[in-house]
């Protein structure tokens, strides 16, 4: 019990660190989830075309629970000036992290009880330290919810297949996969196929039990589907089946002009690169387990455990990998649903390999005590090396790329008017970082995709505002100039101190001598890693100061700056107004895409990535 408490304590500490220090790895998380959630709890936010009743490929049912839980806190932050609005952002992350802690502990306990303590120990080591879990476990994304639900469904399936064979465990498998697929990401339902087939096959011949399972499963799916349809009907004003719309958009109706592929394509190396950066050796062990585990588990363990691991862990990894590796459009978050399955497979694999080493040493030396010593030394070295690399990667991305969260948090609590952003629009951490009387606006940056617009604030009620169909939207990423305002309308500005592209309309706010543009003052500045100019291992892993001299390459930073208007800008045609601007850009909607649509790829951190409204 003491060891388990220590392990769960480490898990809690890791997730708390993730909540407060890990970056937002994808602008889709901000504009498609945090922004509409801010609308629900604070009444304003940016809108993408997916939330228009005309398209309806994002479900309000997914956001509703978070809105109910955080509305009281949001109300207080807007009422009391001293409470910054971003506390709601971190509260949301805490809620998401808590659900994942529960799921990970559930899987740990299942592996401990139904497999072995060693496998459970490796699972907790890998899940606590993995860089991929550091952002997947706190992300406000349907694929993150799908990961959580897949973890719980798989855990219950292993319990069912190895010992209980109870209808209760079987129905919990159905319930969790249903929640992850319908409320989260519909494509995640593919992960349920192997375990469902196993349960049906296992129940075959026991007519009453099979019929009971099927009938209750149908009822569970119908219940969640009806709830989701009803919630979305309330917001969209018409009957829509959002999970179906997502599949239709991404698969059935996809074309050269519309669909996921217009947001960029990658080859298989993209996912390999991501997995290695997110999991290093654990990714290799996880996929090696897809080959090793079915055969070895069948020989060394019971047929039931072999079946549980093959159908519950290995088959879903194989299915998901086969489907998504073959898709032209790739996103890091698309692999979230199998993250804990990869960790589970890796935990079993490393346990099998180390046990084999121990057996070989014992046979060769005929000294059990020596074999045991070698085993413990190997276990310790393996755990330390993997954990060190993983934690170093996590600390690196949180310290080098988390700057936008820090800078936006320094917007004055009394700020009013327009907070503007140009070329850094895709790093915006959400309107939860804006005071209640401030609004985000975009200025010219040369980006020619469709930027997000604004949810209406003028229809008289929240529901009426949400039901309005914005003008100028499209599903083809066509630029809409109405999404951009002139610098004249800005009261605050976020930018980096890098050379600008004057031809594209970008404006230089600070020169090489540190002189700020006339009419503005620098309020706050923080260092942000320059991914393009940095080279060497320090770009990927955190190195303590004493070790940096031994590493090749150079880590370069630029400044991430917050400016405030204090007077007339050289490009202004009239005196600036420092109060709230009554005239907002039309409540139009947009999508996020191409060149700068990624926030930051938490694995590769290549800012060239595209992003956008894909599948989720």
Query: pLDDT for 311-334, tens place per residue?
Result: 999 999 999 999 999 999 999 999
In this prediction, residues 445-474 reach a mean pLDDT of: 93
pLDDT for 258 equals 79
Report the distance separating Cα 477 and Cα 148, nearest Å.
Answer: 31
pLDDT score of 472 more than 90:
no
Mean pLDDT over each residue of the chain, to the nearest integer: 90
Nearest to 91 by CA among 74, 103, 105, 75: 74
Nearest to 41 by CA among 55, 60, 28: 60
Q: Specify the pLDDT at position 606.
A: 37
With DSSP H G I counted as helix, E B as strand and the rest as coil, what are the percentages for the chain, rounded to 5? 60, 5, 35
**Is residue 303 very low, low, confident or very high in pLDDT (cuts 50, 70, 90)?**
confident
Task: State yes or no: pLDDT of 292 exceeds 60.
Answer: yes
Q: Which two tokens stand for residue 203?
A: 């129940």
Distance CA 375, CA 368 (A): 10
176, 130 contact by CB (below 8 A): no
Q: Note the pLDDT tens digit of each residue in 494-542.
A: 999 999 998 888 999 999 888 999 999 999 999 999 988 998 898 899 9
Angle between helices 368-401 and 117-129 (to 10 degrees): 20
Closest C-alpha among 543, 477, 530, 538 to residue 263 = 477
């Amino acid at each position: 019990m003491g060891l388990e408490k220590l392990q769960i304590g480490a898990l809690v500490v890791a997730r708390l660190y993730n909540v407060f220090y890990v970056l937002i790895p994808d602008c889709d998380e901000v504009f498609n989830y945090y922004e509409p959630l801010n609308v629900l709890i604070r009444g304003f936010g940016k809108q993408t075309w997916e939330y228009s009743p005309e398209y309806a490929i994002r479900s309000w049912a997914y956001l509703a629970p978070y809105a109910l839980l955080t509305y009281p806190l949001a109300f207080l932050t807007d009422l009391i000036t001293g409470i910054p609005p971003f506390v709601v952002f971190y509260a949301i992350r805490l809620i998401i992290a808590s659900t994942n802690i529960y799921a990970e502990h559930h899987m740990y306990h299942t592996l401990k009880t139904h497999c072995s303590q060693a496998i459970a120990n490796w699972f907790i080591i890998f899940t606590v330290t993995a860089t991929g879990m550091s952002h997947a476990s706190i992300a406000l994304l349907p694929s993150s919810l799908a990961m959580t639900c897949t973890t719980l469904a798989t855990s219950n399936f292993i319990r069912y297949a190895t010992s209980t064979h109870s209808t209760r465990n079987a129905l919990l498998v159905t319930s969790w996969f249903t929640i992850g697929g319908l409320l989260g990401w519909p494509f995640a339902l593919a992960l349920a196929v192997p375990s469902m087939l196993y349960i049906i096959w296992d129940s075959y011949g026991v007519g009453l039990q099979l019929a009971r399972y099927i009938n209750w499963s149908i009822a569970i799916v119908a219940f969640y589907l009806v709830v989701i349809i009803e919630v979305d009907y309330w917001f969209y004003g018409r009957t829509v089946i959002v999970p179906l719309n997502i599949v239709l958009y991404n698969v059935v109706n996809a074309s050269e002009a519309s669909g996921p592929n217009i947001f960029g394509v990658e080859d298989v190396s993209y996912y390999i690169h991501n997995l290695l950066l997110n999991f290093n050796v654990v990714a290799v062990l996880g996929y090696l387990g897809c080959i090793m585990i079915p055969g070895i588990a069948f020989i060394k363990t019971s047929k039931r455990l072999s079946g549980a691991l093959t159908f519950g862990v290995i088959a879903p990894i194989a299915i998901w990998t086969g489907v998504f590796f073959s898709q032209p459009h790739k996103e890091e978050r698309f692999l979230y649903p199998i993250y804990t399955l990869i960790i589970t497979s890796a935990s079993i694999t490393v346990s099998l390999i180390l046990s084999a080493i121990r057996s070989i040493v014992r046979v060769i030396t005929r000294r059990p005590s020596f074999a045991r010593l070698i085993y413990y030394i190997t276990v310790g070295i393996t755990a330390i090396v993997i954990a060190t690399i993983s934690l170093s990667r996590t600390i690196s991305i949180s310290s080098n790329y988390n700057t936008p969260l820090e800078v936006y948090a320094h917007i004055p609590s009394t700020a009013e008017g327009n907070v503007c952003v140009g070329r850094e629009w895709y790093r915006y951490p959400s309107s939860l970082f804006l005071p209640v009387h401030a609004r985000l606006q975009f200025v010219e940056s040369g980006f020619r995709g469709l930027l997000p617009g604004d949810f209406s604030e003028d229809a008289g009620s929240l529901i009426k505002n949400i039901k309005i169909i914005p003008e100028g939207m499209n599903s083809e990423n066509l630029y809409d100039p109405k999404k951009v305002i002139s610098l004249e309308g800005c009261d605050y500005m976020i930018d980096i101190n890098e050379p600008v592209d004057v031809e594209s309309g970008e404006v230089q706010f600070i020169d090489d001598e540190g002189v700020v543009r006339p009419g503005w003052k620098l309020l706050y500045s923080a260092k942000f890693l320059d991914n393009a100019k940095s080279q060497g291992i320090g770009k990927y892993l955190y190195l303590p100061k004493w070790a940096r001299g031994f590493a090749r390459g150079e880590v370069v930073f630029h400044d991430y700056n917050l400016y405030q208007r204090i007077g007339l800008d050289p490009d202004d045609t009239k005196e600036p107004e420092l109060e709230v601007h009554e005239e907002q850009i039309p409540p139009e909607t947009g999508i996020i895409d191409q060149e700068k649509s990624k926030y930051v790829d938490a694995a590769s951190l290549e800012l060239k990535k595209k992003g956008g409204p894909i599948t989720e």
